Each structure stands twice: as C-alpha cells, then as structure tokens.
Chain A
Amino acid sequence: MVNGSQPVVQARGIVKIFGQHRALDGVDFEVRPGEVHALLGENGAGKSTLIKILTGAYQPDGGEILLEGGPVRFSDPLDAQRHGIGTVYQEVNLLPNRSVAENLFLGHQPTRFGMVQRRVIEVKARELLATYGLEIDVKAELGSYSVAVQQIVAIARAVELSGKVLVLDEPTASLDRNEVAKMFEVVGRLKARGLGIIFITHFLDQVFEIADRVTILRNGKLIGTRTLSEVTTTDVVRMMLGKDLAFDHGGVGVAEAVQGPVRVQFKSLGRQGKVAPFTLSLHEGEVVGVAGLLGSGRTEMARLMFGVDTADGGEISVGGRVVSIRNPAQAVAAGFGFCPEDRKLDGIFGELSVRENIIIALQAKLGWFRALNRDEQDEIAGNYAEALDIRAANHDMPVKLLSGGNQQKVILARWLAIDPNFLILDEPTRGIDVGAHAEIVRTINRLREEGLALLVISSELDEVVAYSNRIVVMRDREMVAELSGADIAPSVIVAAIADNRGSQAAKMETSA
C-alpha cells in the first residue's frame, strides 16, 4: 500500500452526457502508483464510460483529468498511450495469426535501413516476457497460445507502450482458475514496479484478492471509494446495488426436492477425442449442475447433447422415446434449448432487434411457411421480456445495444418461447452484473419449480451448489462423479475436481 503518495492519474468531477442521459455525473477517481484500484458497478453504472474518458476514447463534457498533477486532454487512445495510459480489453485486440514477438513490437519494430530486424525483435520479446515470468516460443503464432498467455502478451505490449497506468477491462472473464492466478502474479509484478493499475471485473472475490482500493459507481454517480481491507463483500455489494441483495447462497438444500419422471436420458453418449461416453438422466423439475475446470469437457458434453457436435455413439431419449439429434435443428424440434457460453459468437444476432432475437428459435422450429406475424411477435417478445425483466428502451432496438446481462436474458427468453422440455445453460452468469446475475439464478429456480429439466454448467461453485439437485463433475473429458444429497457442497466438488490433480496440472502447463 502506498497511502498518501500523489495519484498518477486523477479524474475530477467528470461529466459525460449522451443525448438526455447523464452517463457520468460529477465522478472523481484516482489511481496511485503501485496500487491496484478496482472499479465496480452494475452494467450501465458508467464504468466503461469513465474508462473511455480516461483512455481518450471519449471527451468529457465537464470536469478535468490530471496526469501526475498537471491537467491533460487526450485526443484519442493513442494519445493517452503516449502519455502513459495503456489498456487491455477482455477480448485480446492483437493479431492471432502473427507471432508473439511481432505482436509485442507491432508499429514500433526495431529497424535497420528500413528493414525489420526479426532476430532483434525475438530476443527483445523473449527478454520482455521473461520479466513477466513467461517463457514461451516467441516465434509461434499468438493464436496458438491460450487466452491467458495472449492476455499477458497484451499486457506486456500495453505496459511497454505506456508505462504509468494500466487499465485491465475484465481481463479474467474468460480465464480459468489457474490462469487467473497466473494473471494475478503478473499484476503483482507490475504493481511492485510502481504502475497504477485500474482493474474492472464482475468477480468480487478477485477484487478482494488483488485490489487495494475499490471505487463504486451506480447510475453514473460516484458512490464511494474504499480501502478494501476495511470493508466486507456485503458492504461492497450493498454499495453497488443500493440495497441488501439476498443471494441465498449456501445451504439452500434443494437436493432433497421431489423429482418427477425422467424427462431426457443420454445413454453412453460420447465422441472420440471430445468426451468419453457418459450416461445421464434428467427428471422433470430437476437442475443438474455441471462442475469442472475449463477444458474438462463440460461444454463439449453440452454440445453433444444439443447436436452441435455429432456423437459417434450412444442414444438420446425424450420422455421415453428415442430421438435422433444430429444437429441443433433436430434438438430444437425435440424441445431442447441451449444458451451457449459465448453469447456474442453463438447466441446473439447483434444487428437484429430484441423482438426478433426472442422469437427466432420459435420461428425456426415452426419452419419457413408458418411465419409469426408482427402482432404475435410483439406479444411473445413482450411476455418474455416482462417475465425475465429485460430492460430495453423498446423491442425494435438492435440487441447489441443491450448490456451483457440483458442479452443473456434475451437468449433465455428465446428458449422459453419454444416451451422447452430441457434447457442447457452454459455459464449463464459469466460476465454479467450482480443484479442480472441474481435474477438469472432466481429464474433457474423458478423454471425448476415449473417442472423444467435443466443442465447448468458453471464455474462458480457457490452458485451451482445453491440451485442444483444433483451435480456431475467433469475432469479430463470424462464424467468422473455424480453428487447428490449432502455431497452437494463446494468442498466435496473441489475434492472431486482435484482428484488426480497432478496429471491435470501438468497437462495445463503443456497446453499453455
């Protein structure tokens, strides 16, 4: 902690207005050298607007920015970078098809007589990454490395180009636990070097793990800045939401709930090199949670169930009748729904309206010639938007303008609209704000009570424990445990995941 030292960058009374809407209203914010400062707030609180102003992407309508005490005005992100403020986004903005070394020095390659000195770049790249504890082949394509490595390369590049302040915009959203640890080690090194680090995330536990102070925004207003050692998680959540949110986490005990008849059954379903054959039955009114590390075969299992990948063996039956599911269209016809992990890539039709995004699966199920007319579309979209509390100015706006949480609810609405009998949710709460998070958990519980069979994949153990009747654990592309009753507890799950951890860890090292 470096209390009392002069802030490296400081925002005072920042105001930003979009049309009628005050996105930021007199917000103060500062980062000291050698400090990790977390920025928290629900989606729409103004976090990204503030970051965009600090990094020069937006110009403030009021207030001022001070860099090491002197007022500055950044014309664009490059200008901010020249002044020492670098940014790394959740999605790595580098070139996956160029080498690591080229990515590090793109745009400022050392040259001699106008020729790029490949060898010099590679040596410098290796030296640079060594300071981050990363020893990899810098000649290999960046895209061949895991997201975590790519993130670290992006950080190294940003620090190299700027060097005073580093903004990390949800850097851990697509990383697993090991990778997060690696990332935090890097952040720790940079902190020791005296960089000011702004850390944006939705994971409160990570904030408490790595950050020194936290600033909380709500509806464009500054709620407060706190030293993290002096507050609890509940304090922070209360500040973010403006109320005490009952999370119902831990010991809810849905496990003993009465289960209906078997709704869907997967018998020895598997695919060579993806998932070892597994057998699983889901009952009416049952939530089966899937736990496991990233890459353990969780998503692969769901993809087989939904026909995204075709199984090379096994059998699927719905309500006792064997069905053939070799593509998602057949899965939808059988009454299955799937909210995929990667919303942007596999879920959302960004340019299409909220209404169209909600009715699209039902329309696909009905076929080309039974078109839903406008009134029917409006009614369906209206009903589910209300039921799930989707917040959109109107249902004709492009869905890409909605926040992540609302987009997730739109995809959920899309599947509820087909009146499914089995729903797969892959990381339904990843990357969305606390409020929407709680709402999705509530919706899962409600759907269970209404008799739906659900399979929910999640990395958040507390969450899985809270809503699952049963939990299956995946490890090394294999279903290794099925837990129920008193075994549904984080400690038991962790033990099941961690069993034989040695070989797993070794594998992750080689894949990284």
Chain B
Amino acid sequence: MKRKNWRGALLRPQFAALAAVLLINWLLFPGFFDITLQDGRLFGSLIDVLNRGAPVAILAIGMTAVIATKGVDLSVGAVMAIAGAVAAVLVTGGASAIVAVGAALLVGLLCGLWNGILVTYLEIQPIIATLVLMVAGRGLAQLVTEGSIVTFSDPVLIFIGTGSLFGMPMPIVIAAVLTLLATLIVRKTALGLLIEAVGVNRSAARFAGISSGLLLVLVYTFAGFCAATSGLIVAGDIRGADANNAGLWLELDAILAVVIGGTSLLGGRFSIPMSVVGALIIQAMNTGILISGFSPEFNLVVKSGVIILILIMQAPITSQWLRARTSERKAQ
C-alpha cells in the first residue's frame, strides 16, 4: 500500500514536468548534470538550481499553508526585504549575528501576525489585507536601511547565504530542513486536517468546533517566519540588504510554485513537498534559460508557456480525457 502510494506520487505531472525541464536543460547544456566537489562543497548546475530555488521554496512552504485556508499572502516579498534590512542594520550597528538573526525572524513573525489579525479578526479579504504590507513593507524596509543598500561582512550572516554544511550549500540545507519539519508538523499533528477543513468550508469548520481564528493567525504568522528566513538567505548571499529589490515579485513565484504543486487557490487539500517541487520547476527553467545563453527576456515567455502546460496537465478535464482514452483502449 505504502509503496504503491510512492509510485503513484512519482507519476504526478509535476515530477514529469521537472524531469522534462531538467532534460531540456541537459540537451541545451550537456554539462548540466555534472557535479564536482571543491573545497568540501558541491558545485554544478543541478546544485545551483536547488540553491537558487531555495528562497522561493521556503516562501512556498508558508504560502502553501496560507493558500490551503483559501487565503493568499502577497506580502512575503516585502517581509523578506524587511527581515534582511533589520539583520543588516543590526550587525553593522555592532549587534551580534545571533541577535540580528533572532530579530529578523521575530520581525517576520510579527509581520505574519499582523496579516493574520487583519484577515481573521478584522475579516479583511486576504488579498487586500496582505496587499497593505506588500506596499507598506517595502517602505518600512527602506526606513530601516535609511534608503541605502546596507552591506555587511558578518561571517555568520554571510554563511547563511553562501556557506555549506556537509558539502551542501546552506540555503538548500535550510530549505530541506524547513520542508521536512513543516511537513512532519502538519501531518503528525491534526493541524494539516484542520487547516484543510477551514479551507474547504470555514462555516462548517466553526460548526464542527474548530477554532479557525487561531489557526488562521498561526498560518499567516508561519508564512511571515518563512519569508524572514528567505530574506536572511538573500541578504547573506549578496552580503547586504537592498530594501528596493530583495524579494521583489517573489510572492508571485511562491504562489505559482504552490499552484504548480497542485494546491488549489480555492483552499483545501495541500501538499508542502509538492509546492517545493513547484519552486524547483520554476528555478530549473530560470537556470536553464540562463545557461543556454538565451536572453533573460526570453525567460518570462518560456516560463508562462511551461506553466500553462502544467496547469493543463492538472486540469480535471485532462484527467477525464485520459481516463476516457484508457477505458476505450481497455474496451477494445
């Protein structure tokens, strides 16, 4: 039973799409699958896909939970910028890296809490409630950095963005650990089921005795935490906080990753690992276009084409058509 589930999972269109994108990358650039070990760290295009994909993958983890409740969080890109700015300003001001990281994560949690309260207790539609912080957040980040790009040389912060653990770049390690932890938490506790119940029918959830308010606040707060983590990685990578550009438009990539992963924007059933796969598909396309020498403008067009393809593959009408085809074949 278990094994069958695994095999079924691997046959999902997302894995086929990821394999296809990787294969095309390999055709365009034969060295794509080469991985080398230098100075105790793995290098190669495949590692690069994972490494560059990590920030969006981490955003997608939090976004999955939010979308499962029938919500959306547009502010995660701005929260990334705020978190990066807070950490950068603190270390350049002389604070220890631990304090800076802790403060950045705390600010992320507070941003998420703010969103959660707007959505839950003021009953503002999620898209509007989080739009507030999406717009205001960048302003806040600029206030923190006082309008300039704050660079730093703190080894711990830089390690978060560029270091490695057991040969793996840190962003990959962080994303993997978060994916694993988040998946275990939602599936080993009742949180996953309760989140799905709230997403499917909030009124029925209330009648069934689920405290949906607390659950919603928790979910948005968690999305804020994920965004802050991503923000730290991006800041560490460029050794500075850029309030204008850090995490710019990444909320859209994160939403896309979740949708590609098969979680419906209408809420309900969700899968965190599949959202991470979605993020990797997006990054594999980005990397493929970069290394193949096409101009980056091409990127967006190809990306939208592939996304349409994946969404068509997921559409109910496609599976109906496939089922009809297979039963016809059986009948013959």
Contact = CB atoms under 8 A, between A and B. Distances in A.
Interface of A: 19, 306, 308, 327-329, 331-333, 338, 340, 345-352, 356, 360-361, 363-372, 414
The winner among B197, B209, B211 for most chain A CB atoms within 10 A is B209
A332 B193 contact: no
B190 A367 contact: yes
Contacts of B211: 327, 329, 364
A221 B133 CA distance: 60
Contacts of A19: 327
A361 B190 contact: no
Contact of A368 (B194, B196, B208): B194
B207 interface: yes
Contact of A356 (B188, B193, B207, B327): B193
B194 A363 contact: yes
Nearest to B192: A371
Contacts of A356: 193, 196-197
A62 B210 CA distance: 48
Given A349-B197, A368-B194, A369-B189, A308 B206 contact: yes
Contact of B207 (A333, A347, A368, A371): A347
A369 B188 CA distance: 8
Given A366-B190, A368-B194, A361 B209 contact: yes
Nearest to A342: B203
B190 A332 contact: no
Given A367-B190, A369-B190, A372-B190, A348 B209 contact: no
**Closest 7 A/B residue pairs (Cβ):** A332-B209, A371-B190, A364-B209, A364-B210, A349-B200, A361-B208, A351-B268
A365 B189 CA distance: 13
A368 B269 contact: no
A363 B205 CA distance: 11
B207 A352 contact: no
B181 interface: no
Interface in B158-211: 188-191, 193-194, 196-197, 200-201, 203-211
A360 B210 contact: yes
15 contacts: A308-B207, A327-B206, A328-B209, A346-B204, A347-B204, A347-B207, A349-B196, A349-B204, A352-B197, A352-B268, A356-B193, A363-B194, A365-B209, A367-B190, A370-B190
Nearest to A373: B188
A501 B188 CA distance: 57
Contacts of A331: 209
A414 B205 CA distance: 12
B207 A328 contact: yes
Contacts of B190: 363, 366-372
Contact of B189 (A338, A350, A368): A368
Given A349-B205, A360-B208, 13 more contacts: A329-B211, A338-B207, A345-B201, A346-B203, A346-B207, A350-B200, A350-B201, A351-B196, A351-B269, A361-B208, A364-B209, A364-B210, A369-B190
A348 B269 CA distance: 15
Interface of B is mostly: helix
A8 to B, nearest CB: 34
A352 B201 CA distance: 10
Contacts of B209: 328-329, 331-333, 361, 364-365
Contact of A328 (B208, B268, B327): B208
Interface of B: 188-191, 193-194, 196-197, 200-201, 203-211, 268-269, 327
Nearest to A370: B190
The winner among A331, A348, A352 for most chain B CB atoms within 10 A is A352
The winner among B190, B200, B208, B210 for most chain A CB atoms within 10 A is B208
Contacts of A352: 196-197, 200, 268
Contacts of B200: 349-352
B207 A363 contact: no
A366 B191 CA distance: 12
Nearest to B206: A328
Contacts of B204: 345-349
B193 A360 contact: yes
A329 B201 contact: no
B274 to A, nearest CB: 16
A363 B268 CA distance: 17
A421 to B, nearest CB: 14
Contacts of A347: 204, 207
A21 to B, nearest CB: 13
Contacts of B193: 356, 360, 363, 371
B131 to A, nearest CB: 24
Contacts of A372: 190
The winner among B201, B204, B205, B269 for most chain A CB atoms within 10 A is B204
A492 to B, nearest CB: 33
A422 to B, nearest CB: 14
Contacts of A363: 190, 193-194
Nearest to A331: B209
Contacts of B188: 371
A329 B210 contact: yes
A282 to B, nearest CB: 20
A349 B206 CA distance: 11
A370 B194 CA distance: 12
A306 B206 CA distance: 11
A347 B188 CA distance: 25
A349 B201 CA distance: 6
